[in-house]
Amino acid sequence: MTLLSININKIALLRNSRGRNDPDVNAFAMRCLDLGAGGITLHPRQDQRHARYSDVGKLKTLCQLRGAELNVEGYPTPEFLAVVHQHRPTQCTLVPDAAEQLTSDHGWDLHKDGEFLRPILAELKALGIRSSLFMDYDNVDIHLAKEIGADRVELYTEPYAEHFGTAQGEIILQGFFAAAKRAQYAGLGVNAGHDLNLENLSAFLRIPNILEVSIGHAAVIECIESGVAHVLKQYTSICYTHSP
């Protein structure tokens, strides 16, 4: 099956907007896990405008108790890495986000950033943390992620989601098939995320051996519209019928 990891940043954003612990990030994460999600994703940005570094420890405890995975993603600043080193999530996904960036919108350039990432990936491995690099599907150098020490890549799926249901979207999907194959041939596991939703996820998972999808913004909107239990039931049905 493909592991479903729910990104709870938008729940944290709602919490921060009122200055109180409402909605409770941990309670929402717990409900998602109890309804079948296999993991929780958290992306604390440098300004901590939604997820906070202080959320990581509580979520790690929750995921351990539930036998679930915690994926912490973000740009590897010293502050971010200190939190990751302290709490040791199951997976750390490194993302090339600038401090002022609204949302993730591109993957790493490994020719430019590879030597910066190499010692960080080595540190994660020494701590027993699985590493993943956020990558564009049309990056022909995706295999370099393995050479510098990454365990997995996360394919940035917005180009697929943006054109889903069109002829161009089908061409782009074939590009994702090719990217996954290149990564897997190099010995990398393949994750995916960004703007995947209930409408487009099933078609995307025609790609063989997608190990994990991280879904947040769309899932929270769908939960508001249709209810958490209903939405998680649909997501788990889609993910757990696809076997990597």
For 52-110, the pLDDT digits (tens) are: 899 999 999 999 999 999 999 999 999 999 999 999 999 999 999 765 655 555 789 99
Q: For residues 68 and 37, is the Cβ–Cβ distance under 8 A? A: yes
Residue with tokens 């194959």: 181
Higher pLDDT, 13 or 50: 13
d(C-alpha 177, C-alpha 126), whole Å = 31
Q: Is pLDDT above 70 for 8?
A: yes
Q: Is pLDDT above 90 for 13?
A: no
- Token pair in block for residue 76: 């590897």
Higher pLDDT, 240 or 209: 209
Catalytic (active-site) positions: 43, 73, 194
pLDDT in tens, 172-207: 999 999 999 999 999 999 999 999 999 999 999 999
Mean pLDDT across the chain: 92
Domains and CATH numbers, the chain: 3-239 (3.20.20.70)
Q: Is pLDDT above 80 for 128?
A: yes
Per-residue pLDDT band at 15 (split at 50, 70, 90)? confident
d(C-alpha 156, C-alpha 193), whole Å = 6
Mean of the pLDDT values across residues 147-172? Answer: 96
Backbone angles phi, psi at 231, to 5 degrees: -70, -45
Please state, as a whole number, how many other Cβ atoms lie within 10 Å of the Cβ of residue 65: 10
